[in-house]
Structure 1
Amino acid sequence: MGCRAPGRRPDVVIDEETRPLVRAPHAGDAYVSRAFEWLLDGCPLPAMLVRADGTAVRANPRWLAAFDAGGWRGCFPTLALEGGAGADDDAPRALGEHVAALGAATGRRYACELVPVDGAAALLVARGTGEALEVDQDARFDARFRELIEQFPAAIIVHRNGRFLYANPAAVRYLGYSSPAELDGLPITTAVHPNEVAEIQSRVAFMARTGLPVPERETRLVRRDGTEVLAELGAFVIDRERNPAFVVIARDITARKQLEEQVRHGRRMEAIGRLAGGIAHDFNNHLAVILNYAEFLVEALVSDPQNQRDAREIRHAAQRAAALTQQLLMFSRGDLSETETLDVNVVVEGMLEFLRRTLGADVELVTTVGRGIPSIRAARQHIEQILVNLAVNARDATPSGGELRVETGAIVVSEVNQLLHPNVAPGRYVLIEVADNGRGMSPEVASRAFEPFFTTKPDGKGTGLGLSTVYGIVTHAGGDVEVETELGRGTTVRILWPASEAVVPAASRSDAGTAEEGRRTETVLLVEDDAAVRALVARMLSREGFRVIEAIDAVEALNMVDDDQPELDLLVTDVIMPRMTGPELAIALQASYPELPMVFMSGYADDVLEHHDVQSAAVTFLPKPFSARELRDKIEVARSRAAARGF
């Protein structure tokens, strides 16, 4: 209705003599009269209750503010209540436009209206002409008090001696009943969650003792069918001295709280992702050093098998650690693996044998691939990682055997069904559904399923990065992960991946070959702020025959180029560095070296490449940690790309 509780009560009040004028015409509704006063005070229009003889009974705060508490005759000298305020006709009567003569509203024109309450009283309502009507026309403050309460959009409940006395239609619907009669006389605790009863009783006792209203508070209520809803309750006491009753105003905030929880969850996941990505970045620098110096030891200890085995174990442990940090990067959205146009069905079918081996003989793998589904843009290893992680989770959820079902298809999200998929924009999506008939998850576990390192498996049996990795990969691509699970009934994970209009290219043979030995005398500018990593990469490049110019950051690299103007054949640079990033360095060098191949290396790129004007076709990204062979391969890719663009 647009009416709400006022900040202060007016000085004009209803006394005992005039109180019957505003009571409900039904015997059981006497306690609602104070609720009418409350609603009158909250009406957004100036309004005054008058007797049949025209005597003013009560003015709301809007009237007092506009007309300085003046009576209606002084406010509108030319206004006449034709036919009397207590006419039997229930229809509102327009009284024409009148110019205000009192208070702050002096000189303003008002359209006045008389709204009968009963045969003894009526409401005089004034609305400034030219002002927008502040309440809905159909539910306007245009009928007597019972209609006001019963049309009020929030639930209004009156209870006395701990039992329901009155409930408006909104309250009846909200609590899941069919009619007010079903609530009449029921204990008020019937609709209150057991854990909230003590607090409700305390608030009632406070109002009965002091006569003061209680502020709004979030409270769990229980509907007739047993479902819980969250409401914001405010309350005040009426007739405290004689036979106190309590008026409760309840607003359903269940949907709002669910939305707030979604926002908090998204922010929490983003914060965790940033933390994970930062840790992975620093950790990968250390792993790069450990891995490659272990590799150097393996090569140097050919004549010492025992120590060579020890060096291999060091390398193997570092490789396992690198795999974990790679999953952290996928979750934190810092992984910049190269994408391609893929047919999801081809990827799934290519993984079937591996998935069967992963699941073991006790879990049956059933696949259903959709036909005619669109392609997607993705890194193949990311889709494979999703399938493997979900298969491993399914295997662990079915220790006594079971079934894993993998299906692919297509879905269109539109305004019609977006409520079912609230986390993605309207459009076409490729659907990958992985379902098992295992143990399932409780709501508490499911709510934390995407958090990294959260696991219900025994110590040493899981890293807690499976679903968080899936979440990071999919959401970074603009898709969503939907989980449907129930204890004892299994779990279904649905991947919605944005569809692509591109056509999957035909398989082609790679023509990357071994570079000519004569090209290994070229000069490379190496830029890396971590001294240990810089020394390592310089050694790798030197072993490949390059002449290496080292710089501790991009600013020093530019100074070297400006001073010496060397002939450069390749740039190998870190992405995130103090003072200037690797992409910014690349842009600065392109003016002097337009044909320069570039290799960007980083443990965590944080999407820096995506936010700078560096053309991806000329840039090759090398994730840390990497081996000498991977560095060599990326250099060849960078050269091929630069040549293809005619740089």
Structure 2
Amino acid sequence: MIEQSNDAIYIIYESRFVLMNKRFTAITGITEEDTAKADFNFLDSVAVESKQLILDRAEMWERGEQPSSVYEFAIAKSNGECIQVQASVSQIDYENGKAYLGILRDITEYKELEAQLRQSQKMESIGRLAGGVAHDFNNILTVILGNLELAMLKLDPVDPLYKDLSEIEVAANRSADLTRQLLGFARQQTVAPKVLDLNIIITNMMNILNRLIGEDIELAWMPGENLWNVRIDPTQMDQILANMAVNARDAIDGVGKLTVETGNVSIDEDSGQKYPEPSTGEYVVTTVSDNGSGMEKYVLDNLFEPFFTTKDLGEGTGLGLATVFGIIKQNDGFIDVASEPGEGTTFKIHLPRFKGEAESAGSFKERGVANVGNETILIVEDELSILKLGVKLLTGLGYKVHAANSPKEAIQLSADSTTAFDLLITDVVMPEMNGKELAQQLLATNSGMKVLFMSGYTADVIAHHGILKDGLNFLQKPFSLIELSSNVRGILDS
């Protein structure tokens, strides 16, 4: 009966194992031959973090106290494997004295699932937090950045005030990046995926990456041949590469090397076993390697945790790699990491192969020249400060602009207008009706009108309103004058 049990059963009498079933050996790796040795000590098989717990319990038994009968600890097996067990120990009468009857249950898999659930709940909580503040924060940043750009356009770059405004712009853009990182980590970032050739995307990023890592670090680029396509928002790919480059830069002390490489890989059930999660299929792999300081195990274990950082206070948010992880998961991929202290680090980013023709994609946006025009535009926004800003920006670009502070007002404006609108720019989430419903109603009488949706809400909220579909034009707040003008011009010219 003891041998048929799924739990490990043992008896310790006078500090010796006098009984153990086969399951005890299967779970702990300890054999009867091991326990028969004169120098055998069970404590040697207990993981470092659990040794004190076992010692404390032994002292309680010796003092005649009754410790809790059920507890958990970790066992370090001789093969290097560490397992979590739940133990139930009670004192029994045995021969002429007292013995300890123990039952061990392997709960390693349960603990891993529990940790995954906690991580999932943590991500969900931060996602709710990020989503909750993103809308209001993005609206505020839109007004700040938009008015800053207008003010800077009126000044000569050599004006001392221009420099002051530039500092404010840098701070506001960092705030916008932080919001994007939070949403990226929480997998709520608004995306517009395209079929891409990563070799082209990474080639276009080389100058940016060189500037990010500095002159002391050599950047090697090794594009794979006949690379398969993937489907991802090009801006997200830029985010991944930028965060990986910064992470490598911070790991290299002085002179070093960063290597970026691409290739194709097919993972079957057998080869998929070495990866941390089920991952069979065809993938495009982007490998990012550095010869920096490498990482200890505790750092690797927490690497993708939000706000986890090894940097000094104020030197990092701890969101860079968490953002990378979130983006990759959002795109049905996975990331594999190998690192040893003093041996550098290698990240392998796996994105699913997409069988389709690659599209052209802009890369990292830098300040450029605004596109102008003279068409008629109707802008609808329930936030008055953003509406006023939109009117100023579009009017400054030469467009004839009609403004409405609500869908009802927009419908009335359209009905009263003798001029057809070339473009509708509308917020997505508004009182009375959402932007998509407004567009459908206005298109009934303005069939040639094109539509650009904008919002500061997160991807899940926008998707709920049916906006994030292929073929619909969308602009995420906060946006710059250049982004607004290029989107408007591109839609009107399409």
Correspondent of 1:250 among 100, 104, 110: 104
Q: 1:402: which partner in 2?
A: 256
Correspondent of 1:622 among 450, 475, 478: 475
- Per-residue CA shift, 1:6-40, capped at 9, x if unaligned? xxxxxxxxxxxxxxxxxxxxxxxxxxxxxxxxxxx
Does 1:603 pair with 2:456?
A: yes
Does 1:494 pair with 2:351?
A: no
Letter in 2 for 1:447: D
- Per-residue CA shift, 1:550-602, capped at 9, x if unaligned? 124x4x45774798688544322223445654334445555555543211222
C-alpha contact (below 8 Å) 2:371/2:482 kept by paired residues: no
Q: CA–CA distance in 2 between the matches of 1:189 and 1:392? A: 43
- Per-residue CA shift, 1:205-263, capped at 9, x if unaligned? 69x888xx965322223434575421011234433695332221111111221232123
Return the offset for 1:154.
1.8
Q: Secondary structure at the match of 2:123?
A: helix
Q: How many pairs were matched up?
A: 480
Q: 1:180: which partner in 2?
A: 32
Q: Secondary structure at the match of 1:151?
A: coil
Correspondent of 1:269 among 105, 123, 137: 123
Return the offset for 1:191.
4.0
Q: 1:429: which partner in 2?
A: 283
Return the offset for 1:380.
2.7
Correspondent of 2:381 among 528, 531, 540: 528
Matches within 5 A, 1:42-121: none
Q: 1:633: which partner in 2?
A: 486
Q: CA–CA distance in 2 between the matches of 1:435 and 1:182? A: 43
Q: 2:366: which partner in 1?
A: none
Q: CA–CA distance in 2 between the matches of 1:285 and 1:330? A: 18
Q: Secondary structure at the match of 2:54?
A: helix
Letter in 2 for 1:182: D
C-alpha contact (below 8 Å) 2:194/2:359 kept by paired residues: no
Change in 2 beyond 3 A, CA 1:168/1:291: same
Correspondent of 1:383 among 237, 240, 256: 237
Matches within 5 A, 1:405-484: 405-423=259-277, 425-484=279-338
Return the offset for 1:480.
1.8
Q: Secondary structure at the match of 1:391?
A: helix
* More divergent stretch after superposition (218-227 vs 619-628): 218-227
Q: 1:18: which partner in 2?
A: none
Q: Secondary structure at the match of 1:374?
A: coil
Gapped regions of structure 1 (runs ≥ 5): 1-147, 642-647
Q: CA–CA distance in 2 between the matches of 1:531 and 1:502? A: 43
- Per-residue CA shift, 1:33-81, capped at 9, x if unaligned? xxxxxxxxxxxxxxxxxxxxxxxxxxxxxxxxxxxxxxxxxxxxxxxxx
Q: CA–CA distance in 2 between the matches of 1:573 and 1:640? A: 19
Return the offset for 1:389.
1.9
- Per-residue CA shift, 1:333-384, capped at 9, x if unaligned? 3433433222222333343454344434433333433323311112333323
C-alpha contact (below 8 Å) 1:342/1:504 kept by paired residues: yes
Return the offset for 1:470.
1.6
Q: CA RMSD in A?
A: 3.5
Q: Secondary structure at the match of 1:619?
A: coil
- Per-residue CA shift, 1:109-157, capped at 9, x if unaligned? xxxxxxxxxxxxxxxxxxxxxxxxxxxxxxxxxxxxxxx2223232111
Q: CA–CA distance in 1 between the matches of 2:83 and 2:410? A: 63
Q: CA–CA distance in 1 between the matches of 2:42 and 2:157? A: 86
Change in 2 beyond 3 A, CA 1:199/1:324: same
Larger radius of gyration: 1
Q: Secondary structure at the match of 2:141?
A: helix
C-alpha contact (below 8 Å) 2:190/2:458 kept by paired residues: yes
Q: Secondary structure at the match of 1:500?
A: coil
TM-score of the pair, normalised by structure 1: 0.66
Q: Secondary structure at the match of 2:259?
A: strand
Letter in 1 for 2:195: T
Return the offset for 1:164.
0.9
Q: 2:367: which partner in 1?
A: none
Q: CA–CA distance in 2 between the matches of 1:615 and 1:389? A: 26
Q: CA–CA distance in 1 between the matches of 2:435 and 2:158? A: 41
Matches within 5 A, 1:503-522: 503-504=357-358, 517=374, 519=375, 522=376
Return the offset for 1:170.
1.3
Change in 2 beyond 3 A, CA 1:231/1:579: farther
Change in 2 beyond 3 A, CA 1:398/1:209: closer
Change in 2 beyond 3 A, CA 1:197/1:326: closer
TM-score of the pair, normalised by structure 2: 0.84
Q: CA–CA distance in 2 between the matches of 1:608 and 1:474? A: 20
Q: Secondary structure at the match of 1:321?
A: helix
Q: 1:160: which partner in 2?
A: 13
- Per-residue CA shift, 1:61-107, capped at 9, x if unaligned? xxxxxxxxxxxxxxxxxxxxxxxxxxxxxxxxxxxxxxxxxxxxxxx
C-alpha contact (below 8 Å) 1:434/1:492 kept by paired residues: yes
Does 1:198 pair with 2:55?
A: yes
